[in-house]
Amino acid sequence: MIRFDILTLFPGMFRSPFEESLLRRARERGLIEVRILDVRDFTADRHKVADDYPFGGGKGMVLKPEPLARAIAAARAEDPAVRVILLSPQGAHFDQAAAERLAGCGHLLLVCGHYEGVDERIRMHYVDEELSIGDYVLTGGELPAMVVVDAVSRLVPGVLGCEASREDSFTGGVLAPPQYTRPRMFEGQAVPAVLLSGNHEAITRYRRREALRVTWERRPDLLGRACLSVEDQALLEEIRLAGNGQGPGRGPAADRGAESWT
């Protein structure tokens, strides 16, 4: 079981995401626990002020250090092993490897930045690590927090069942192969015959080859750090020789950066 505490100025944003689909069932079965903490509950003034203007001038507001410090201190007093993560534009890129690492933690406190961010003293002295989910502008850290919870929860044993997460895209460093369902024929396009053959060995090899092909065409950057077997290398050579008019990187790989919010 893994526990997620989410510290946010906008707790209402989390009412729906964790009440649907896999995450709802995982919570009901006690596989994950999600607690939403309102930053304002940790303020000390009667107006519950959680943000203020930045020293030196500038646009926007900055989250005040005192309520964040109180919330983090309370979490650490309850569980000294809690890992405090700030969702931040300047954080490290959150990827599948990071999700797998965090899935080994028992308790995560996700701090949602907002407006112009948080007071630098919190970042320097209260946070264990910072994470960013991409190079684009967001309103705040709430959506990144949802992404982290979803990606990590899928890796908790029992959440998906049948170890299905092992076949997800990015697991093992490659994208997932194309998938098909009924009907067998759709607008003149048939499901690949091998998938209907019942030959499980052939199906496994076909899917692996397709996963490698899709990765080679769309995200060749992943192959450089993927764990590839000798057979994978042979399949990749087949794919390169076949060509089919496509080169590596048909779809541009996203530049790695950080999101920002305003």
Is 76 in the same domain as 179? no
Residue of 5, 38, 67, 89 marked active site: 89
What is the DSSP track for 204-260? Answer: HHHHHHHHHHHHHHH-GGGGGGS---HHHHHHHHHHHHH-TT--TTSSPPPPP---E
- The predicted model scores a pTM of 0.84
In a domain, 104, yes or no: yes
In a domain, 255, yes or no: no
Is 220 in the same domain as 122? no
Of 121, 153, 185, the residue that ends a domain is: 153
Residue pair 84/128 in contact by the 8 Å Cβ criterion: yes
The yes-or-no answer on residue 168 being catalytic is yes
In a domain, 249, yes or no: no
Residue of 5, 17, 154, 177 marked active site: 154
pLDDT recorded at residue 247: 60
Query: Identity (one letter) of the amino acid at 244?
Result: N
**Which candidate, 110, 82, 207, 96, places its Cα nearest to that of 155?**
96
Query: Which residue range(s) make up the domain with 78?
Result: 2-153
pLDDT recorded at residue 256: 39
Is 23 in the same domain as 98? yes
**Residue 81 has which token pair?**
């092993």
In a domain, 192, yes or no: yes
The yes-or-no answer on residue 157 being catalytic is no
Whose tokens are 């490897």? That residue is 97
Residue pair 39/71 in contact by the 8 Å Cβ criterion: yes
What span, in angstroms and rounded, lies between the C-alpha atoms of 262 and 244? 44
Is 56 in the same domain as 183? no
pLDDT recorded at residue 258: 41
What span, in angstroms and rounded, lies between the C-alpha atoms of 129 and 40? 23
Is 132 in the same domain as 220? no
In a domain, 200, yes or no: yes
Residue of 150, 168, 217, 221 marked active site: 168
Alpha-carbon 146 to chain mean position:
8
Reduced to 3 states (helix: H, G, I; strand: E, B; else coil), residue 45 is: coil
Q: Where is pLDDT greater, at 191 or 163?
A: 191
Is 238 in the same domain as 115? no
In a domain, 260, yes or no: no
Residue of 66, 116, 135, 221 marked active site: 116
What span, in angstroms and rounded, lies between the C-alpha atoms of 146 and 261? 16
Is 71 in the same domain as 193? no
Give pLDDT tens digits for 134-166: 999 899 999 999 999 999 999 999 999 755 545
Of 101, 125, 153, the residue that ends a domain is: 153
4 contacts: CB under 8 Å, gap ≥ 6? 32, 33, 34, 35, 108, 110, 149, 152
pLDDT recorded at residue 250: 55
In a domain, 259, yes or no: no
Residue spans of beta strands (DSSP E) within 55-139? 62-63, 83-93, 107-112, 129-132, 137-138
Of 104, 122, 153, the residue that ends a domain is: 153
pLDDT recorded at residue 115: 85
What span, in angstroms and rounded, lies between the C-alpha atoms of 195 and 204? 9
pLDDT recorded at residue 225: 86
34 contacts: CB under 8 Å, gap ≥ 6? 3, 4, 6, 14, 18, 23, 27, 149
* DSSP code, position 105: -
In a domain, 186, yes or no: yes
51: CATH: 3.40.1280.10
Q: What are phi and psi of 6, to 5 degrees?
A: -120, 120
The yes-or-no answer on residue 154 being catalytic is yes
Is 123 in the same domain as 9? yes
Across 183-188, average pLDDT: 96
Domain count of the fold of the chain: 2
What span, in angstroms and rounded, lies between the C-alpha atoms of 186 and 18? 35
**Residue 182 has which token pair?**
């009924």
Give pLDDT tens digits for 120-142: 999 999 999 999 999 998 999 99
Is 110 in the same domain as 207? no
208: CATH: 1.10.1270.20
Reduced to 3 states (helix: H, G, I; strand: E, B; else coil), residue 77 is: helix
The yes-or-no answer on residue 89 being catalytic is yes
Give pLDDT tens digits for 36-87: 999 999 999 999 999 999 999 988 999 999 999 999 999 999 999 999 999 9
pLDDT at 201 over 50: yes
pLDDT at 260 over 70: no
Is 141 in the same domain as 21? yes
Per-residue confidence band for 168, with pLDDT thresholds at 50, 70 and 90: low
